[in-house]
Amino acid sequence: MAGHSKWSNIKHRKGAQDAKRGKLFMKLAREIFMAAKQGGGDEETNPALRIAVDKARSNNMPKDNIERAVKKATGDLEGVNYEEFTYEGYGPGGVAVMVKVLTDNKNRTAGEVRHAFSKNDGNLGENGCVAFMFNRSGYFVIDRSTTDADEEDVMLQVIEAGAEEMETTEESFEIYTEPEAFSDVKAALEEEGYSFSTSEVTMIPETYTELDEEGVEKMLKLIDMLEDNDDVQEVYHNLDADEAVLEKLS
């Protein structure tokens, strides 16, 4: 799975920017809302809700916000009705992009997403045009500074927990698992004393597209514009960018 660490660098940058914009809690609330709306308000019987709530808690979302989102979804509180859509397209240099949205106005959101692509040298495509380039996967990151365990010990515990694969970098252990096993693997590793800087079910690209500095700058502008949209929950892509370039442009 070479290249995933490059992808995670972008992901970590994105997460930090979401938090700075102060929009993260709203996006997490929508995710909880949709999970509860589709599968009910009980975390024990609704794995998607459990994952969404875990993600909210890991980002220090207040308990009242979480409960309010669940109650809105189950009809205990009045609220707007959101629909979930995924848009696909290409960014600068042919970078594959998937945009997951939750919206109460599909026409408005579609127009805004299309505008973001066209303004940043990209184009929105048909459904399925890039989805085949990604695999849905559970993904965890353990910062090596948070554990005394060596790579072999972590690997054994990861296997015992039921994960599929682990990749080691200088800074972290990156763990991949089937989406259906996400909650069980997370619980098993937490019982071993591990904490995660990232834990989510996400879309992992199979291949990556390299860009020069100018292309990376344009791509980051596209990502920023999409993430500035209140309706956008996640932006997935297969950009391969040099870490020094990312640092410079950040």
- Domain chopping of the chain, boundaries: 4-74
Sheet containing strand 198-205, edge to edge, reads: 165-168, 172-177, 134-143, 198-205
Q: Please tell me the distance from the alpha carbon of residue 183 to that of residue 77, in angstroms, as a whole number.
A: 28
Query: Are 6 and 240 contacting, i.e. CB atoms less than 8 angstroms apart?
Result: yes
For the chain, percent helix, then strand, then coil, each to nearest 5?
Answer: 50, 20, 25
- In the DSSP assignment, the letter for residue 43 is T
Per the DSSP assignment, residues forming a β-bridge with 140 are 175, 199
The residue behind tokens 């597209």 is 209
- In the DSSP assignment, the letter for residue 125 is -
Reduced to 3 states, what is the DSSP secondary structure of residue 135?
A: strand
CA distances from residue 231 to 22, 70, 121, 218 in whole angstroms, order as listed: 14, 18, 21, 21
pLDDT at position 70, please? Answer: 85
pLDDT in tens, the chain (250 residues): 334 455 555 665 555 555 554 578 888 888 898 888 888 889 889 988 999 998 888 888 888 888 888 887 777 656 667 888 999 999 999 999 999 998 889 999 999 999 999 999 999 999 999 999 999 999 999 999 999 989 999 999 999 999 999 999 888 999 999 999 998 999 999 999 999 988 888 999 999 999 999 999 999 999 989 988 988 988 999 998 887 887 887 7
Those residues with Cβ within 8 angstroms of residue 5's Cβ, 6 or more apart along the chain or in another chain: 167, 169, 172, 174
Sheet containing strand 232-237, edge to edge, reads: 123-124, 83-90, 96-103, 232-237
Q: Report the top-level CATH class of 4-74.
A: mainly alpha
pLDDT at position 3, please? Answer: 41
Structure tokens belonging to residue 106? 């599909």
Q: Please tell me the distance from the alpha carbon of residue 114 to that of residue 248, in angstroms, as a whole number.
A: 28
Structure tokens belonging to residue 217? 């700058």
The residue behind tokens 């502008």 is 221
pLDDT at position 14, please? Answer: 56
Structure tokens belonging to residue 144? 């090596």
pLDDT at position 72, please? Answer: 79
